[in-house]
């Protein structure tokens, strides 16, 4: 048996319970279903070669 959670709804419910006003009218995109975003999972399921790359550079400027 698998348990599935709606994490955005769970977070919104917890925030509402804490007194935070939650604007849930915005739509959320999913990288798996939206072709505008890269998805390793989508490419794997479609048996396409994985080509996504990610880089991060953190620079500390000396004072």
The structural domains of the chain, with segments of one domain joined by +, span 25-63
CA 32 distance to own-chain centroid: 10
pLDDT of residue 19: 95
Q: What pLDDT sits at residue 26?
A: 66
Q: What is the pTM of this model?
A: 0.42
| pLDDT at res. 53 | 75
Per-residue model confidence as pLDDT tens digits over 2-56: 888 888 889 989 999 999 998 877 666 788 888 888 888 888 899 988 776 778 8
Tokens 């939206």, residue located: 34
């Amino acid at each position: 048996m698998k348990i599935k959670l709606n994490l955005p709804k769970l977070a919104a419910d917890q925030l509402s319970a804490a007194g935070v006003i939650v604007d849930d009218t915005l739509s959320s995109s999913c990288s798996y279903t939206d072709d505008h975003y890269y998805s390793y999972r989508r490419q794997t399921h479609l048996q396409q070669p994985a080509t996504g790359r990610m880089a991060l550079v953190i620079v500390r400027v000396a004072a």
